[in-house]
């Protein structure tokens, strides 16, 4: 039987996805071999994660300030907006270095049109932002799956009377693939060959 100090860490690791009893035990015991500086760093990093990670007030990206690095950058193209389903996709696209417009993060995708509440996934914020800005193009960069299609159609329907070009990332991205796992070349191609849907 381990002392409580070790048992607590084992319990904590088991909160993580895919971590069972044995792995949690192995990781907890491994931590005992690290320097105190390292374990303090880990503990502080985890403690600060929730306290110091906010969502950008403009686009919903992760940030430690009120406004994220993209929205704060005066050199970005302000009239092009890329709609993504989570902040991870912003990082994947930024790594390519081919896109210089703005972003809007949805909190997921539309799961069903029955009882759809646009506030659930920040669609209301998206529409409000588009109505109050001067966007010329909206790029919908959500993963190709049924939910992605529904979300894309919904956005297209709501915006169809505005004079804005709405594009969708081109095929090549495997059906159902998570955007952050799509390789850079495929993602860059999908960007370059994006298709107008309205």
Which of 104, 100, 120 is closest to 112 using CA atoms? 120
Nearer to Zn ion, 10 or 125 (CB): 125
Binding mask 18-37 for Zn ion (x = CB under 5 A): --------------------
Name the minimum Å distance from CB 56 to Zn ion: 3
61 binds Zn ion (CB under 5 A): yes
Name the minimum Å distance from CB 114 to Zn ion: 31
Q: Can you tell me the distance from the alpha carbon of 141 to that of 143, in angstroms, rounded to the nearest whole number? A: 7
DSSP character for 180?
Answer: G
The residue within the footprint of Zn ion, chosen from 59, 81, 90, 155 (CB under 5 A), is: 59
Q: Can you tell me the distance from the alpha carbon of 119 to that of 74, in angstroms, rounded to the nearest whole number? A: 29
Name the minimum Å distance from CB 164 to Zn ion: 20
Name the minimum Å distance from CB 84 to Zn ion: 11
The footprint of Zn ion on this chain (CB under 5 A) covers a number of residues equal to: 6
Nearer to Zn ion, 28 or 59 (CB): 59
The residue within the footprint of Zn ion, chosen from 10, 56, 82, 190 (CB under 5 A), is: 56
Long-range contacts of 192-197 (CB under 8 A, 24+ apart): 192/98, 194/139, 194/167, 194/168, 194/169, 194/170, 195/167, 195/168, 195/170, 196/165, 196/166, 196/167, 197/140, 197/152, 197/156, 197/166, 197/167, 197/168
Name the minimum Å distance from CB 87 to Zn ion: 9
Q: Percent helix, strand, coil in the chain (nearest 5)? A: 40, 15, 45
According to DSSP, the residues that pair with 81 across neighbouring strands are 102, 138
Name the minimum Å distance from CB 69 to Zn ion: 8
Note whether 135 and 80 are within 8 A (CB). Answer: yes
In this chain, which stretch among 10-18, 60-68, 90-98, 184-192 interacts with Zn ion, using CB under 5 A?
60-68
Q: Of residues 68-87, which lie at the interface with Zn ion (CB under 5 A)? A: 68, 71
Residues at the contact surface with Zn ion, assessed by CB under 5 A: 56, 58-59, 61, 68, 71
């Amino acid at each position: 039987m381990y002392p409580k100090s070790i048992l607590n860490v084992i319990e904590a690791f088991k909160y993580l996805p895919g971590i069972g009893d044995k792995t949690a035990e192995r990781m907890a015991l491994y931590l005992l071999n690290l320097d105190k500086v390292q374990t303090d760093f880990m503990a502080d990093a985890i403690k600060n994660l929730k306290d110091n990670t906010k969502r950008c007030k403009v686009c919903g990206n992760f940030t430690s300030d009120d406004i994220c690095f993209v929205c704060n950058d005066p050199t970005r193209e302000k009239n092009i907006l890329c709609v993504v389903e989570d902040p991870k996709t912003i990082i994947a696209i930024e790594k390519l270095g081919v896109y210089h417009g703005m972003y809007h993060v949805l909190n997921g995708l539309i799961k069903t049109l029955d009882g759809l509440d646009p506030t659930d996934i920040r669609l209301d914020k998206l529409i409000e932002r588009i109505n109050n800005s001067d966007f010329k193009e909206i790029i919908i960069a959500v993963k190709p799956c049924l939910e992605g299609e529904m979300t894309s159609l919904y956005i297209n329907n709501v915006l169809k009377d505005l004079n804005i070009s709405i594009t969708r990332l081109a095929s090549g991205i495997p059906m159902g693939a998570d955007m952050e796992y799509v390789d850079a070349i495929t993602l860059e191609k999908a960007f370059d060959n994006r298709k107008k849907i309205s």
